[in-house]
Every structure is written in structure tokens, then in C-alpha cells.
Copies of this chain bind each other. A is one copy, B any other.
Amino acid sequence: MFKQIRYKWDAFMNDSALKARVNNIIFDTDTPLGRLFDVTLITFIVLSVIIVIFETAHWLPLWLKPYMHTLEWLFTAFFTIEYLLRLYCSSKPKEYALSFFGIVDCLSTFPAYLAVFFPSMHGLLVMRMFRLMRVFRIFKLFDYMNEGHYLLVSLKEGLHKIIVFFLFVVVLVVSIGTIMFMVEHGKNGDNFNSIPNSIYWATVTMTTVGYGDIAPVTTMGRFLAGVVMLIGYTVLAVPTGIFTVSMVNTDKKRKEIFCPNCGKNIDRDSRFCKHCGYDVEGSKKDAAKKN
């Protein structure tokens, strides 16, 4: 009896024809069925995210809540099945499970179950948002994908600088916070009542966010605050500079082409390599002919 089930299971797990069919529907985005599936998926994701967000809105009519709850569970069920099917039909399950999309799919599905026991984890369902990045894949927005990739590369090039910059900002913010604490402490009701709060104030000011929930009142404090703002502004011009430069560089790299003969970097529009005189255009034509 048990043996039989097990046998069936093995058969199911090895039914490559079925796998292929499922794969077509779930992973493929060219077949009409696959497309239909993907579009439904996107719609479900958007809906489920909206539900998670608005479940907490106090101004929603009460009678709506149960419906939203049911819907959410339906979505969760759907996503679970989808995830299992993805695991099932992909030729290399492990690879998928550890791929970016695999992890996102997992994280955006199972918190729903944990949330039963730990309600506070309920918000994690917003992770589902990230699945929307599928939209790029589906609608063949490769160009956008490239742009995204391009941005990432630029950010990466500037990463080291940004980290150093942040360390610097942290030190600055802590120091300023402490100084302001000494100046304003006790002058101003409950503001600047501790160094951590003053540091919070310094961050709010340096980043030019400026809530105003904490603000200096003494003339000395206000003078210092003014100085901090000006310093802050200049300091915070740095990341923009860093990022712009790294973008310019990435942009250049992207536009560079290389001589197929001497491998040196040449202008996009040059007919002959300016280094070795190799006939670049000619070779292109030959390549074209061959194909």
C-alpha cells in the first residue's frame, strides 16, 4: 500500500513530459498559456500587497475586513502551490530555490503561515512587492532591465566611496549630537533630553529632512544648528558627486568598443583602428557576410 503510493510519487516526480508542460506554463512567457498565467500572477501579487497594506487602515469599513482576510488566504494558497510547482518543474530545483527570484518567492509566501503564530510578522507579506519585478521579465522590458543593471553597476563602482562617506557622516553626526546636547540640554523642555536624541536630531538636520519635532531654541544652539545645516548640505553633496562620476564612467565604458586586432579602446565611429590601422569596418562586414 505505502509502497504503491511511493511508487506513484516517484512516477510523478520523474514524469518529464508533465514537468515540461508545467514548465511551459509557469516559466515560459511566450506561449499564450504562459502569458495568461503570468498576468494573473502579477494581478494577484498586486492585489495581495494592496490587501496587506490596507488591512491596517482604520478608515476602512469594518465589514470589509473578513473578505480581505479570506482573499489573502486564497492568494497565499495560490502562491504556495505556485512555489511548489516551480520547484517541481524546474530542471535544477536547488538552483531555482537559491536564485534571487526563488528566495523572493519563498520569503513572500511562508511568512503568511508564520503570521498565524507571530502576528507581528504579518507585515513581511509586503515582501510580495519584490515579485513585481517579474513584470520586467514578462513584458520583455529588457531595455529597462539593462537600465536597472546599469544603475547597479554605477552604484557598485561608487560603493567604496559611499561606505567611507557614511563612516564619516556617522562620526560627524555623533559628535554634533553630543555638542548640541551640551548646548541645548535642559533649555528646551523635553528636546535634546539625551545624547541619542541629539544624535537623532543631528541626523534629521544633516540630511535636510528637518522634522522640527526637536529644534534648538537658544541663540547659541540656533547658531550652531545653522552651521551644521550648511556643513551638512555641503557634506551631503558628496554622494551625489560620487554617484554622478561613477555614472559618467559606466556610461563611457558602455559606449567604448575595442579594436578586434590590437584590442585597444577606439572611438565608436572609427573606420580604422587608430592604433594599429586595422580595418574595423571591413571586418564587421565580413562577420555580417558569414552569418
Which residues does A use to contact B, with CB under 8 Å? 49, 52-59, 120, 123, 126-127, 129-130, 132, 143-144, 147-148, 150-151, 154-155, 160-169, 171, 173-175, 178-179, 181-182, 193-197, 199-200, 203-205, 207-213, 215, 219, 222-223, 225-226, 229-230, 232-234, 236-249, 251, 264-266, 268-271, 274-275
Give every chain B residue within 8 A of A219 (Cβ-Cβ). Answer: 57, 59, 196
A161: chain B residues at CB < 8 Å are 147, 150-151
The 9 closest A-B CB pairs, nearest first, are: A211-B212, A209-B210, A237-B240, A203-B226, A241-B243, A207-B229, A241-B244, A212-B212, A56-B194
Closest B residue to A176 by beta carbon equals B126
* Across-interface contacts of A127 in B (CB, < 8 A): 175
CA of A237 to CA of B249 in the docked complex: distance in angstroms? 16
Most B CB contacts (10 A, CB to CB) among A155, A173, A174, A238 go to: A238
Chain B residues in 8 Å Cβ range of A194: 56-59
Nearest B residue to A120 via CB reads: B182
Provide the residues of chain B in CB contact with A196, threshold 8 Å.
53-54, 56-57, 219, 222-223
Select which of B56, B154, B167, B178 is within 8 A of A241 by beta carbon. Answer: B154
In the bound complex, CA of A275 to CA of B280 (Å): 12
Measured CB to CB, the nearest residue on chain B to A210 is: B209
Contacts of A56 in B (CB 8 A): 181, 193-196
B178 touches A160 (CB 8 A): no
- Having A126-B175, A237-B239, A241-B247, one finds 17 other A-B pairs with CB under 8 Å, namely A49-B174, A126-B178, A126-B195, A151-B242, A162-B234, A197-B222, A200-B225, A203-B229, A204-B210, A204-B226, A207-B208, A207-B230, A207-B233, A237-B240, A244-B247, A264-B269, A269-B275
